[in-house]
Amino acid sequence: MSPPKAPSTTSASEPRREQRRNGLGVSAGIAIGRAYLIGRDTLKAPRHHVEADDVDTEIARLKKALSASDKQLEKIKAKLASENESDYHIIDAHQLMLQDEHLVDRANTYISDELICAEWALRKAVDNIVSVFDAVEDEYLRERRSDVEFVFERVLRNLLGREAGPLSPPPDAIVVAYDLSPADTALLHKAAVAGLLTDAGGKTSHTAIIARAHEIPAVVGLEDLTEVVETDDLLILDGTAGVVIVNPSAATVAEYREEQRQQAAAAAVLMTNRAEPALTSCGVPIAMLANIDGPDEIDDALEYGAVGVGLVRTEYVYMTSDQLPEEQQHYESAKSLLEKMAGRPVTLRTFDLGADKLARFLEEADLGEANPALGLRSIRLCLASLGMPLFVSQLRGLLRASMHGPMRIMFPMISGVGELREARAVLDGVKADLRAEGIAFDEGIKVGIMIEMPSAALMSEMLAHECDFFSIGTNDLIQYTMAVDRVNEHVSYLYEPLHPALLRLIGEIASNAKRAGITATICGEMASDAVIVPVLIGLGLRDLSMSAVSIPEVKSAIRKFSVAEAEALVAEIRNLPTVEEVRTAVERFATSRKLVRAAKAG
């Protein structure tokens, strides 16, 4: 990470004061860097003063952005010209605006007279024009206001370099956005950003999960941070404490650099233990598995000590590409996973699209659902005519790959026995086709289900007789048990893994699995919380699947208590009626055994 540059604000503006904001820390670690702001619907024009020496540069930037906008409009016009006369003329009018002296000359004057950046000057010039439109009586003319805004937005995008791709922050930037789609987050990790901050979001939003998987420190649920931060502001992000500091003083930066150093040292100590077995202090083995999105995460999973992959979120192959994957791609991706895991077990979940995990083909289908989290998503989509061809080609690809290593197939969001039977029937049909075609696959392949809705938890006794394993998806199980949207920051206070209702459901699922002689893994983010893990062990779980980066800390925690102690903890909390009482007891246990390093106070 590069050291912070000197603040870019000048004496022409008041130095901006240090401000501290609290949100939900969803991916641990400290980042110190410059803000890269992504506005909500429209982009926000940064407002900076500039030095007199920079005036020519700002004017040149504006000129370049105007000319790029003109070229883009020319292209659009060429496409529209043959199709629609009136649109063609609108584009003409927009191009004329790009040369309008009221816009261009005035913006240049603002830059040189008021020493402000091109974006701010452009906004002021646009505001001027817009105020004239607002004042006129004629409705048609008043509506032309939106044309000016349209042109402004385009030039602004070019000024901010946002036209080349959806998001292009410089490396080491801290991205500040109202919200980020999981696909955006996946792309941002490739851009090597230092941290992520969002106004919206919850602890188990998929954005948070991806941030953790790629070890990008992140804080979400900051409500109005995008209103407070400007591009290039210096920021400190503490993903453990859920704190953001805008325009920190030099003393604060030094304090956080020291904390960053201590965290790195603590992580290094944990990593030295990674080869040790994951045994409780009484010697009971706990399987430490990784949750991943694709083959490129295997190296990290092994590095952190995973003994297998408990969840592959295969839908990411649909989300990050414009082309729908074909059978061969599923085959190759699964084969590569199995080969890299070299004989260790891999559980592949069939695609779980919908709600916040949107793919291009779903956007195009435009389902128009009022409640996508309760809608045609996940296994429901696979079993509907819209998703069936994708489901079948995925199952064919996976089954063919099953010859390359120990693979398990898992269906997400199963609501009950009927739906499980339906999904199994499709799988059986695919197997029959492969046999008829003489294509080999693992005839003994294990088939399991995610338990992530209360109906499945309540039916777990019967479900356990019709599948080979359970994987408890607590991220969704909490959402559907508590009726709390997992990505909604306004109700995140209710999103509580230690809610007594949830613990009862997990206990029920674990004992039904045990009675039927099948394994139950936890693959929700709850498994990665070293404070909570004793509760899971006490409830009878022995298989934990999590973001790979959490494995060293969870493993170190497991080695510090016995199964009998974990069971005593569960017995103690079993009759506690509120989350607060449960949390107090669980944290007391964790502190007494030093399960986690004391975090810096937020």
The residues annotated with a catalytic role in the active site are 206, 523
- At 470, the amino acid letter reads F
In the complex, the smallest distance separating the C-beta of residue 523 from ligand PEP, rounded to whole angstroms, is 5
User: Among all residues, whose Cβ is closest to ligand PEP?
Assistant: 473
* Phi, psi (deg, nearest 5) at residue 354: 115, 175
Q: How far is the CB of 504 from ligand PEP (least distance, A)?
A: 17
Distance in Å from the first CA to the final CA of the chain: 23
Closer residue to ligand PEP (CB): 405 or 524: 524
CA angle 331, 520, 512 (to 5 degrees): 135
> Between 356 and 452, whose beta carbon lies closer to Mg ion?
452
Span of 53-61, 441-449, 474-482, 583-591 interacting with Mg ion by CB under 5 A: 474-482
Is residue 75 classed exposed, middle or buried when 0-12, 13-18 and 19+ CB atoms within 10 A define those classes?
exposed
Q: How far is the CB of 408 from ligand PEP (least distance, A)?
A: 15
Pair 586, 532: CB distance under 8 Å: yes
Query: Of 476 and 543, which has the nearer Cβ to ligand PEP?
Result: 476
Shortest Å, Cβ 451 to Mg ion:
10
Q: Which of 356, 476, 525, 529 binds Mg ion (CB under 5 A)?
A: 476
Residue nearer to ligand PEP on the CB measure, 230 or 352: 352
The nearest distance, CB 296 to ligand PEP, in angstroms, is: 18
**Shorter beta-carbon distance to Mg ion: residue 381 or 566:** 381
Task: Indicate which of Mg ion, ligand PEP, none lies near residue 335 (CB less than 5 to 8 Å, by partner kind).
Answer: none
Map residues 427-466 to x or -, x wherever contact with Mg ion holds by CB under 5 A. Answer: -------------------------x--------------
Determine, following the binding rule CB under 5 A, whether residue 473 of this chain makes contact with Mg ion.
yes
Task: Supply the minimum distance, in Å, between the C-beta of residue 451 and ligand PEP.
Answer: 9
524 makes contact, choosing from Mg ion, ligand PEP, none, with CB < 5 to 8 Å by partner type, with ligand PEP
Which residue number, 153 or 452, has a Cβ lying nearer to Mg ion? 452
Sequence-distant (6+) residues with CB within 8 A of 268 are: none
Backbone φ, ψ for residue 32 (5° rounding): -130, 120
Stretch in the footprint of Mg ion (CB under 5 A) among 175-183, 455-463, 473-481, 508-516: 473-481
**Does the footprint of Mg ion cover residue 293 (CB under 5 A)?**
no
* Residue placing its CB nearer to ligand PEP in the complex, 182 or 221: 182
Sign of CA pseudo-dihedral 401, 402, 406, 409: positive
CA 338 from centre of chain? 25
Torsion angle (degrees, nearest 10) of CA 10, 14, 19, 23: -70
Number of residues that bind Mg ion (CB under 5 A): 3
Separation between Cα atoms, residue 331 and residue 199, nearest integer Å: 38
511 sits in which H/E element:
helix 500-516
Bridge partner list, 238:
30, 243
Rounded-to-integer distance, Cα 221 and Cα 200, Å? 5
Footprint of ligand PEP (CB under 6 A): 209, 311, 313, 352, 452, 473-476, 523-524
Question: From ligand PEP, Mg ion, none, which one binds at residue 280 (CB under 5 to 8 Å depending on kind)?
Answer: none
Instruction: Identify the CA nearest to 48 among candidates 359, 40, 57.
Output: 57
Q: What is the closest distance, in whole angstroms, from the C-beta atom of residue 209 to ligand PEP in the complex?
A: 6
Residue 474 interacting partner from Mg ion, ligand PEP, none (CB closer than 5 to 8 Å by kind): ligand PEP
The rounded distance, in Å, linking the Cα atoms of 466 and 447 is 9
Helix (H, G, I), strand (E, B) or coil at 66: helix
Torsion, Cα of 542, 545, 550, 554 (10° steps): 0
Give the C-alpha separation, 93 to 77, whole Å: 11
Question: Least distance to ligand PEP from the beta carbon of 598, Å?
Answer: 28
Q: Is the dihedral of CA 360, 361, 366, 367 positive or negative?
A: negative
Name the nearest CA neighbour of 123 among 149, 93, 162: 149
**At residue 590, what are phi and psi to the nearest 5 degrees?**
-65, -40
Q: Which listed option, Mg ion, ligand PEP, none, makes contact with residue 172 (CB within 5 to 8 Å by class)?
A: none
Q: Which residue number places its CB atom closest to Mg ion?
A: 476
297 binds Mg ion (CB under 5 A): no
Pick between residue 221 and residue 524 the one whose CB is nearest to ligand PEP.
524
The contact set with Mg ion (CB under 5 A) reads 452, 473, 476
